Structure 1
Amino acid sequence: MAMEIGEDEWKVCCGSSEFAKLMEMSGPLTSEEAIWTARDTWFNLVNVTDWLEAFSAHPQIGNTPSPSINSDFARRSVSEQSTAFATTSASALQELADWNVRYKQKFGFIFIICASGRTHAEMLHELKERYENRPIVELEVAAMEQMKITELRIAKLYSDKARVVSETDSSSSPISTKPQEDRLRIIGGHLNVAAEAKSPKRSRPPITTHVLDVSCGAPATGVEVHLEVWSGTTGPSFGHGGGGVWSSVGTSVTDKDGRSGPLMDLVEALNPGTYRISFNTAKYCPGCFFPYVSIVFQVTESQKWEHFHVPLLLSPFSFTTYRGS
């Protein structure tokens, strides 16, 4: 069932004013549509300033919120952390506070983690590991954690609104079971991340990428990108072709934000197989050590409904990649 959600309610879900504004402008959305629209808005439409606004709306992990314009958001954060810190010792909290200070001094924003279901020890361990990241990598990791938090809050928002509908309907039609079914569908659809028989409708192609120039800490604009899929009776193997060829799927060029345009059609189910994304790094960075970079990855049958975001972090003498969201 599509629901009208106000800007203030969307801001409690995320913390970013621009995100909330764009979500409200999307009109009435079903719970499934809301999740996919939120992901597209967060990763493709808002900018880094909006990310930082959402980060700053959180109280520091383990702290109580100070009064703020978006205090409902901060109180929700504390509630989500409450189980993890219910039995934590004072010395353990102090260690976490000390590491939070070090983290903010290095990255410029507070440590963001989806605290639901996490213990204090797990979060401290994660903080120490992520502290070793390069700032440009950690920014993306924090953004992905923020989206996990946002998705859980959207699920709760729709669940709460469905409960109100249920209570209203039960007063006039006590035997109706539809509101209860709606609540179960909403909660099950968003809090259970196991593979489903049918995928929600996509809002972007299933394979995407972006390029960041870590030598200057900025998006890499104008990088030619090619997406290919392996065609053959056997998959490609190290050192030889394996009885097949690479077939072109699509090409694009990165924009001012370092993101490529669509590399393939907006399909629901991605064909399982081996894919390769190649970047014309020589044209972007003449004289760099790598004249081109190719990233090869596999998509299995069970993953065909998933999204594959495969970014490139580039410098003249090194590159890294990872699977994003």
Structure 2
Amino acid sequence: MEFGFEEKDFLACCGSTKFAKEMALASPFASLEEAVSAARDVWFNKVDVHAWLQAFSAHPQIGDSTPSSHHATPTSAQWSKGEQSTALATATGSTLQELSEWNARYRQKFGFVFLICASGRSSGEILAELKNRYPNRPIAEFDIAAQEQMKVTELRLAKLFSSKANVSSTTDQYPAVATKKVEEDRVSIIGGHLTATSEATAGKTSQISTRTRPPITTHVLDVSRGSPGAGIEVRLEMWKGAQPRPSFGGTEIGGWVLQGSSTTDNDGRSGQLMSIVDAVDAGIYRISFNTGKYCPAGFFPYVSIVFEIRESQKREHFHVPLLFSPFSFTTYRGS
């Protein structure tokens, strides 16, 4: 049995008009595997950079339902919503806000929407991957995004073949289904096999933290300018000296152990200063800011904020911002 499709069908699978035309010319296909093989050849060998960017722009950003261009079809929009269903179901208001902020940073750096095969992934996992990929060089990230687009395309091709199949003509490999929910579950399994990532993903799922950001975060606001303090070096340390805690005015050496360092971005927010874990170690922490380098004419060569996390607070979040001016500073525990 051969499966024939129109150009609009392939446009729903991948938002590139060039890709859709090439696939329509290659249709019909005897099997899903044949279609996937053709799709890979078209995507990686026959279309150009403009086609990649056009396909990227047809995707809504994670956490949103509106595509970034008019190239998205009603079918692809519906599929995007289904593919993001796990992420949306596991998201909180703060997670969606953080996803939105990081999506904006990503788009500003790379020029296109953050693209990931979101099917079956939690919001926390997607956010962690976004942060992990953000430091990439643009040329490397462009290639990763193209690979993710191909994963999405393969998953949607499976849905396309499923929609063509019926009870009397479907093979044992791609059985017909009675409900949309069952179809989505089955297609997700097929998509996982096609991209050869299901086992790796399953192996990581149990290790994913329920947090969407590290337990200790900070940002800097330059109150003298009324704007974020960008470009300030930040260090997070934990006290691990011989004494349970550093003494007031003490001169202990070697007690502070670096947990992570970063530089504040244009929004005044630091990068990740420690791992994303469900329970942070109780103890004394110190966040230090290189304010002398940021404001050479100011009064403070650096600012350090020392605080304690108790055993009963290990699962809480600690946002410790710095409100800074050349001759004063303050802080508070935020959320």
- What TM-score does the superposition give when structure 2 sets the normalisation length? 0.51
Quick one: structure 1 residues 190 and 101, their matched pair in 2 at CA, closer, same or farther if it must change by over 3 Å? closer
Q: CA deviation at 1:64?
A: 1.6
CA deviation map 1:79-100 (0-9, x unaligned)? 2101211141111100010000
Percent identity among equivalent residues? 50
d(CA) in 1 for partners of 2:46, 2:9: 19
Distance in 1 between residues matched to 2:195 and 2:70, nearest whole Å: 37
1:157-236 paired onto structure 2 within 5 Å: 157-163=160-166, 166=167, 169=168, 179=170, 181-184=172-175, 191-193=192-194
Task: Report the counterpart of residue 76 of structure 1 in structure 2.
Answer: 79
Deviation at 1:182, TM superposition (A): 4.8
What's the CA shift string for 1:210-250, capped at 9, x where partnerless? Answer: xxxxxxxxxxxxxxxxxxxxxxxxxxxxxxxxxxxxxxxxx
Write the letter of the residue equivalent to 1:77.
Answer: S
Which residue does the alignment assign to 2:253?
none
Structure 2: distance between partners of 1:64 and 1:183: 29
C-alpha root-mean-square deviation of aligned residues, in Å? 2.3
Q: Cα offset for 1:156?
A: 1.1
Q: How does 1:66-105 map to 2 (within 5 A)?
A: 68-72=70-74, 73-105=76-108
Structure label with greater radius of gyration: 2
The total of aligned residue pairs comes to 183
Aligned partner of 1:8: which letter? K
Q: Residue by residue, what CA displacement relative to the aligned partner does 1:255-285 show, whole Å, maximum 9, x if unpaired?
A: xxxxxxxxxxxxxxxxxxxxxxxxxxxxxxx
Alpha-carbon contact 2:107-2:113 (below 8 Å) kept: yes
CA deviation digits over 1:178-222, x for unaligned, max 9? Answer: 625252499676542598xxxxxxxxxxxxxxxxxxxxxxxxxxx
Secondary structure of the corresponding residue to residue 183 of structure 1:
coil
Closer, same or farther: CA 189–149 of 1 in aligned 2, 3 Å: closer
Q: Which residue of 2 aligns with 1:232?
A: none
> TM-score with structure 1 length normalisation?
0.53
Aligned to 1:226: none
In the alignment, what sits opposite 1:128? 131
Q: SS in structure 1 opposite 2:135? A: coil
Partner of 2:46: 45
State the distance in 2 between where 1:193 and 1:101 align: 31
- Partner in structure 2 of residue 54 of structure 1: 55
Decide whether aligned partners of structure 1 residues 3 and 150 sit closer, same or farther in structure 2, where only a CA change above 3 A counts. same
Instruction: Note if contact 1:80-1:115 (Cα within 8 Å) is conserved in structure 2.
Output: yes
| Consecutive unaligned residues in structure 2, runs of 5 or more | 177-185, 197-335
| Cα pair distance change 1:65/1:83, threshold 3 Å | same
Amino acid at match of 1:142: A
Gaps of at least 5 residues in structure 1 are 170-177, 196-325
Could you say which residue in structure 2 is the equivalent of 1:10?
Answer: 10
Report the Cα offset of residue 31 of structure 1. Answer: 1.2
Q: Distance in 1 between matches of 2:7 and 2:33?
A: 18
